[in-house]
Amino acid sequence: MGARSIYLGAKYTRSMASDPDRRITSLDAVPADTTYLFTVRDDEGERREAVLVRTDDGVAGWLNYCRHLLDVRLDKGSGAPMRDGELVCANHGAYFEADTGYCTFGPCDGATLESVGVAVDDGDVYLADENYAFVGSGPIDDDAGPSNTSNVEF
Ligand code: FES
């Protein structure tokens, strides 16, 4: 049986799912009970944090910001809390479904996390969203400066 690909989220292209510059991590590195934090850059060059989270049928990607207070990070650097397959915002206890991003409980009940398209190919997770470029694993590194986002290779 060949390698299985799973495409999740909007606005992906198939070629993104095997682009080494868009490889986030291995699927095995995404924990079952918390989130995997990474950084992306949007169309305007602004860095944003995002998380990978396990779902019943693979992995999903979400921007790492609560829908109640939009500057509050769900994963503050050591993994977001999860309860029964839902992400929990530690600030005021909002619950978000891992697979849909939908807030089922809390002050932003009914809102939805912002999706980041990801794809799994041959055991690796790729950023498969034309709205974002992959910057690196972990939180936004404010000391890295703009050179961290350069595609120039020497
Ligand atoms: S900031 Fe997340 S629930 Fe209030």
- DSSP per-residue codes, 73-89: BSS-SS---EETTEEE-
CA dist 97 and 85 (Å) reads 7
Query: pLDDT class for 152, splitting at 50, 70, 90?
Result: very low
Tell which one of 71, 75, 87, 92 to mutate to probe ligand 1, the residue whose CB is within 8 A of the most ligand atoms.
92
- Report residue 19 CA to chain centroid gap: 17
Instruction: Return the domain boundaries, the chain.
Output: 5-80+112-139
Give the 3-state secondary structure of 86-152.
Answer: EEECCCCCCEEECCCCEEEECCCCCCECCECCEEEECCEEEECCCCEEEEEECCCCCCCCHHHHCCC
CA 146 to ligand 1 centroid distance, Å: 30
Tens-digit pLDDT profile for residues 25-44: 999 999 999 999 999 999 99
Task: Tell the residue nearest (CA) to atom 3 of ligand 1.
Answer: 92
With a 6 Å cutoff on the Cβ, whether 88 touches ligand 1 is no
Phi, psi of 119, deg, nearest 5: -140, 145
With a 6 Å cutoff on the Cβ, whether 89 touches ligand 1 is yes
Determine the atom of ligand 1 nearest the C-alpha atom of 67: 2
CB atoms under 10 Å from CB of 121, counted, come to 20
pTM of the model: 0.85
Look at residue 142 in the predicted model and tell me its pLDDT: 79
Tens-digit pLDDT profile for residues 64-112: 999 999 999 999 999 999 999 999 999 999 999 999 999 999 999 999 9
**C-alpha distances in angstroms, 20 versus 17, 26, 113?**
9, 12, 26
With a 6 Å cutoff on the Cβ, whether 92 touches ligand 1 is yes
CA dist 13 and 130 (Å) reads 8
Q: Which long-range contacts (CB under 8 A, 24 or more apart) does 49-52 make?
A: 49/73, 49/75, 49/139, 49/140, 50/116, 50/132, 51/75, 51/80, 51/87, 52/24, 52/25, 52/118, 52/125
Evaluate whether 95 touches 88 at the Cβ level (below 8 Å): yes
Look at residue 143 in the predicted model and tell me its pLDDT: 74
CA 1 to ligand 1 centroid distance, Å: 44
CATH number of the domain at 5-80+112-139, please?
2.102.10
Look at residue 130 in the predicted model and tell me its pLDDT: 94
Determine the atom of ligand 1 nearest the C-alpha atom of 74: 2
